[in-house]
Amino acid sequence: MSWSISEAVQWLDRHPSFESSGRFLGEPSLAAVQAVMDALGIGSKEFRTIHITGTNGKGSVARISSDILASLGHKVGAFVSPHLHRINERILINSEPVGDDLLASEMLLISGIEDRLSLTLSWFEVLTVTALSLFYAEGVEMAVVEVGIGGTWDSTNVVDADVAVITSIGHDHLDLIGPTLANVAQNKAGIVKSDSVAVVGRVAEELLAIVEGRPNSRVLALGREIVVSNVLQGLGGWRFDLRTSRTLYPELFLSLHGRHQVDNAGLAIAGVEELMGSSLDFDLVSEVLSEVSIPGRGEVLYRKPLVLGDGAHNREAAIALSHLLEDEFAGVEPKVGVIAMLGDKDAKSVIGAFVGIFSEILVCSVGDERSQPSGELADVAAALGLNAVEVPSLEEALSGAMKSVNSSGMAVVFGSFRTVARARLFLRS
């Protein structure tokens, strides 16, 4: 018996999904995932692992980390989320999505184990065990694993990280892992194991103390053991110096938009250093950073007129995007926003970051049951003093924004990775 990729995805989509419903399956537990791992004969340390959590930035750190490790000559598996167009984008080997046949055959294996053990896995749990099983079968030496939500009870926490990265601690999923930032920090710190090196981004001292309170081998913090300096805007990216606990990397160039990506690059490099137990070759690091690209994160989707896409969907990500626009596109006017968001997100804090930046904001629906009604978004934007226009669809909103800005301005699509994914498809067509 074999499955096509469409049959495998149909089976996957029959599983309860937080991503489609906004609700978890039941009480938090790793028992079902661990049972599958045991049945597969996969231990928690089959590969050396960088485990990454954080409110924002974890996808960028994962991509940069895996690219560096692959460039070092290792066979590297990466499990990331979300995907923009195809489920294969979540499971990578040496920075490339796994093929349809390989992914389908691995899901078929997982389906048999799920049936035999009489388990009901969630959609994300299925993808987690599929990724780890596939890495094991393909002989992956090193794994870069991105948390879905939180840390302690996330299905990826069946791995014992050699390096645990916490990129940021912010205001997202407070209803699930809050209600306070201290609660969020405690949950995310759950990926730090007794023999893990913890690599932590820019967080408040009291939150860093929570991470340091976990059993660990040591903690490296951005702004303390990891220092970025001499940050200068360059053409299509950023120049900066990086000092880690192991060495100095002078005059690096990062080919990503957004000052915040410099911090993410610093965390990725420090994390890979700790996994390898040594400093890294400067030329190799420099080459990877100069060529890295991350879909849906400050991505130029179209050039005439300029269209930028970013999955920003919470307060901190929106602030980072607003700084990106002010820093790197200061002379590009007018700027028109196009937003569609999921219903469980704080629209006021996201839209509020762009007051004084957008001449107009076009609001629409993500296009599924979790979407925040466009009328509610329009009311929020109008209450903040923005010129808000409700539009029936994302495609109409984006077309209208592109006509409005003409050749001199830019349209900015944001609010959800689903929003950016639809915009990418529309512009490609």
Q: How far is CA 4 from CA 29, 123, 225, in A?
A: 31, 18, 48
pLDDT-derived band at 178, boundaries 50, 70, 90: confident
Mean pLDDT across the stretch 258-271?
98
Question: Would you tell me the crossing angle of helices 123-137 and 100-116 to the nearest 10 degrees?
Answer: 110
The percent of residues above 70 in pLDDT, for the chain, comes to 98
**Nearest 5°: phi and psi at 172?**
-145, 145
Q: In the Cβ-directed half-sphere of 196, how many Cα atoms lie within 13 Å?
A: 29
User: In whole angstroms, what is the distance from residue 394 CA to residue 339 CA?
Assistant: 8
pLDDT at 415: 97
Each residue's pLDDT tens digit, 187-213:
999 999 999 999 999 999 999 999 999
Q: How far is CA 247 from CA 50, 163, 265, 278, 280, in A?
A: 20, 18, 15, 9, 8
pLDDT at 363: 97
**SS3 state at 27:** coil
Residues sharing a CB contact under 8 Å with residue 27, sequence separation 6 or more, in sequence order: none
Each residue's pLDDT tens digit, 88-132:
999 999 999 999 999 999 999 999 999 999 999 999 999 999 999
pLDDT-derived band at 174, boundaries 50, 70, 90: confident
Three-state SS letters, 115-142: HHCCCCCCHHHHHHHHHHHHHHHCCCCE
How does the average pLDDT of the chain come out, rounded?
95
**Nearest 5°: phi and psi at 34?**
-65, -35
H helical segments located in 189-281: 205-212, 260-276
Each residue's pLDDT tens digit, 7-47:
999 999 999 886 665 566 667 899 999 999 999 999 989 99
pLDDT-derived band at 170, boundaries 50, 70, 90: confident
**SS3 state at 77:** strand
pLDDT at 429: 84
Each residue's pLDDT tens digit, 277-296:
999 999 999 999 999 999 99
- Stretch(es) of the chain classified as CATH 3.40.1190.10: 5-291
**Nearest 5°: phi and psi at 330?**
-60, -35
- The DSSP letter of residue 190 is G
- Stretch(es) of the chain classified as CATH 3.90.190.20: 299-428
Domain 5-291 in CATH 3.40.50.300: no
pLDDT at 1: 79
**Nearest 5°: phi and psi at 186?**
-60, -40
Mean pLDDT across the stretch 361-368?
92
Q: Which helix (H) or strand (E) segment is 401 a member of?
A: helix 394-405
pLDDT at 353: 97
Q: The tokens of 104 are what?
A: 């389908």
Each residue's pLDDT tens digit, 54-73:
999 999 999 999 999 999 99
What CATH class has 299-428?
Answer: alpha beta
Calculated CA dihedral for residues 115, 116, 121, 123, nearest 10 degrees:
-50
